Structure 1
Amino acid sequence: MQPFTKLTGLVAPVDRVNVDTDAIIPKQFLKRIERSGFGQFLFFEWRFDEQGNEISSFSLNLPRYQGAEVLISRANFGCGSSREHAPWAILDYGFRVVIAPSFADIFYNNCFKNGILPIKLSEEQVEELFQRTNAREGYKLTVDLENKRIADDAGLSIPFELDEHRRQFLLQGLDDIGLTLQHADEIAAYEAKNEARLANTF
C-alpha cells in the first residue's frame, strides 16, 4: 500500500448527505474480485443516464474537477452495506482523501485498509470548504497527515483529529497483512519452535 504523508490535490465536491455504498459503487459491478478497475463505475448512476451518456450536471463530470484527489461531501458518507468495493472504487478513481462531517463506521475503517485518508470536520468547516471549492476553479487543498492539518493557499488552515494507530498505518503504507508481515521473523521462529515441540510429543 502506498504511504500517505502529504498531498496537495484538486478538490471535487459531492454535495449530498447519506451517500451510501450502493451509490458509490452499484451492486451490478461487484462481480470482480480484484481491487482494480472499479473507478470507472464510481457514482455510476449519478454520472451516467440510462443510455450511458454523462449527466452534465453531476459534479465529477465537470471539466474543472477532472483529476481531483480530494473529495468533499456531507454527513454520514459511506452508509449502507459494508462492501469494501466502495473504497476500492474511490481510490481507483484517483481520490486519496475524503472529507465529511461524519462517516459510516465500516466504510471509515475500510478506508484505512486501502490507503485512503477519511477526515472528519465540523459541519461548519465542511461548508467553508464547499464554498471555497465552488467559488474558485482549480481549488486545491494540502493535506498534511504528519501534522494532522489541511490548508489552502488563501489562508485556510484546519487541524483534524485522527487515531494515532490509524495515522501510522497510512504514514507507513501498511494494511493488516503488511502489519503482520513486520513480525515475519518472530512468526517463523514460533512456528519452528512449535513444530519441534510437536515432533517431540509423538
Structure 2
Amino acid sequence: MSRAALVVIDVQESFRQRPIWAHASQPDIVRQVDRLVDAARRRGDLVVWVLHAEPGSGTVFDPALGHVRLIEGLTPVAGEPTLVKTSHNAFTTTNLQQILTMAGIRDLTVCGIRTEQCVETTTRVGCDLGYEMTFVTDATVTFPTPHRDLPPTATVEEILADPRTLSGEEMTARTEYALAGRFATVRTVDEVTGATPVGARS
C-alpha cells in the first residue's frame, strides 16, 4: 500500500466564472491535473480532492450559486475523498490530516488553484506538519496579480494596464523560489508522471 497522496486543490468552476480566468497562467490545468491523477492511481496513491467555499458570501465561492464543483473533466472515483475548506490551506478547516494519518501517508504532492495562495499555503502548512511535500508547478494556476494599492474594484483591464501588476509567470516563479529547498521539492508534471527523468529539464 502506497504511503503517498496527491491533493488536488480548488480546481473548481468558481474560478472560471471570473473575468480574469481568460488570463490564467495554465489554461490546460484540467489535462495537467488529470495526468497527475492517472499516475497517482496507477501507483496506488490516495487522491484527495479539495474545494473552496465561502457560504453566504454571494460570490462565485458561495455554494448556493452552484460553482463550488470540480471543473468538467475531473471526476473522483470510489474511495477518493472530496473535502470542502473555508480557509486558504487544505488542513485547517477539513479533516485532511486525519485522513492522511489513518492511511499512514507521509508524502504529499499538491497541485491546483491558486499557485501562490491556496496551493502554496497548503504546502507550507503540510511541511510544518511533517509531510514531505512536492509542489507540481505546472499543474497550478495563478493570474495577473495587482499591486496592493490598486482598488479591489479594479477591472481586469485596469489590472493588466498597471505596470506594478505581476504576471502569472512572475507569481509562479516567486512561489517556486519561496518553496524550493525550504518547504517542498518543486517538480513538473512530466517529472512526477515519469515522462521526463528528474533533473533532465532543459
Range class of TM-score, shorter chain: 0.3 to 0.5
Q: What's the TM-score once normalised by structure 2's chain length? A: 0.33
Higher helix share: 1
Larger radius of gyration: 1
